[in-house]
């Protein structure tokens, strides 16, 4: 069934299970946090990537992507000047149905999406293939950066692995959004195998350090 969520557009993609710290300073988003604090559990809002526009300012957003992820509040700290520091975690993917403009911040009617592992036989092939590809990617990355990145313990469960890799690989917004939108874990893993192969080849051909940071938890100044 559709439900209504406060919406927090960002210039990044949130995945289920990924920590997302936020610094809240705009008044409209301070109001969002206050409204959540006064409401029932679970205290959550929708994070959705901006297709066109920017995070801050009045009328800064022109278009949003269709698929987002709910962020559940884990910790809220209010500063003396009314700003908030949040720790949230990605919970459920959702599909944007309609925007609602009745509050200072955006709200949306959304449809929560199920988490499907996909075909078991296909998963048995995709999981070890992506694990190998991800290790190769990390090795290529370590050859190009001064701070070495260690390979985490990779889960064998398809959904968990698919989101770990999606959150970890250095990729552009469009690639990250495409991974979030994949309908099941096997299709996401297959897309990641192609992405990892491409990025590993690029890293091995580079003569300089890649500009993006390797990180597990994105940070937004909003």
Average pLDDT over residues 5-12: 94
94, 41 Cβ separation under 8 angstroms: no
Whole-angstrom CA distances from 174 to 44, 179, 200, 211 are: 25, 9, 18, 17
pTM > 0.85: yes or no: yes
Residue listed under structure tokens 């962020």:
71
Q: CA angle at residue 208 from 202 to 212, to 5 degrees?
A: 70
Whole-number average pLDDT of the chain: 89
Average pLDDT over residues 11-38: 95
Confidence of residue 53 (pLDDT cuts 50, 70, 90): confident
Q: How many CB atoms lie within 10 A of CB 162?
A: 31
Q: What is the pLDDT of residues 123-170, one digit of tens each?
A: 999 999 999 999 999 999 888 777 777 777 899 999 999 999 999 999
- Pseudo-torsion of CA 134, 16, 45, 40, nearest 10°? -150
| Nearest in space to 194 (alpha carbons), one of 133, 118, 135 | 133
Q: Which range (6-10, 48-52, 122-126, 214-218) has the least confidence?
A: 214-218
Average pLDDT of span 40-49: 94
Catalogue all structural domains in the chain, each as residue range(s) with its CATH number: 3-112 (2.30.130.40), 120-205 (1.20.58)
Smallest CA-to-CA distance from 161 within 107, 211, 117 is with 117
Task: Burial-class residue 106 by CB neighbours within 10 Å (0-12, 13-18, 19+).
Answer: buried
Give the pLDDT confidence of 76-93 residue by residue, as tens digits.
999 999 999 999 999 999
Tokens of 51: 């297709």
Nearest 5 degrees, angle CA 195-CA 200-CA 206?
130
């Amino acid at each position: 069934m559709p439900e209504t969520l406060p919406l927090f557009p960002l210039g990044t993609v949130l995945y289920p299970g990924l920590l997302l710290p936020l610094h809240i300073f705009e008044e409209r988003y301070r109001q969002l946090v206050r409204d959540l604090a006064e409401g029932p559990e679970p205290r959550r809002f929708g994070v959705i990537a901006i297709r066109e526009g920017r995070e801050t300012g009045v009328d800064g957003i022109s278009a949003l992507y269709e698929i987002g992820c709910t962020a559940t509040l884990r910790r809220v700290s209010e500063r003396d000047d009314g700003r908030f520091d949040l720790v949230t975690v990605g919970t459920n993917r959702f599909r944007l149905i309609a925007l609602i403009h009745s509050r200072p911040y955006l709200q949306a009617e959304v449809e929560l999406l199920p988490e499907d592992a996909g075909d078991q036989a296909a998963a048995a092939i995709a999981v070890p293939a992506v694990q190998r590809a991800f290790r190769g990617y990390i090795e290529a990355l370590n050859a190009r950066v001064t701070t070495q990145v260690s390979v985490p313990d990779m889960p064998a469960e398809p959904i968990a692995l698919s989101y770990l890799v999606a959150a970890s690989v250095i990729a552009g917004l469009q690639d990250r959004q495409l991974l979030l939108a994949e309908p099941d874990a096997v299709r996401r893993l297959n897309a990641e195998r192609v992405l990892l192969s491409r990025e590993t080849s690029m890293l091995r051909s580079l003569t300089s350090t890649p500009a993006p940071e390797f990180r597990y938890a994105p940070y937004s100044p909003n």
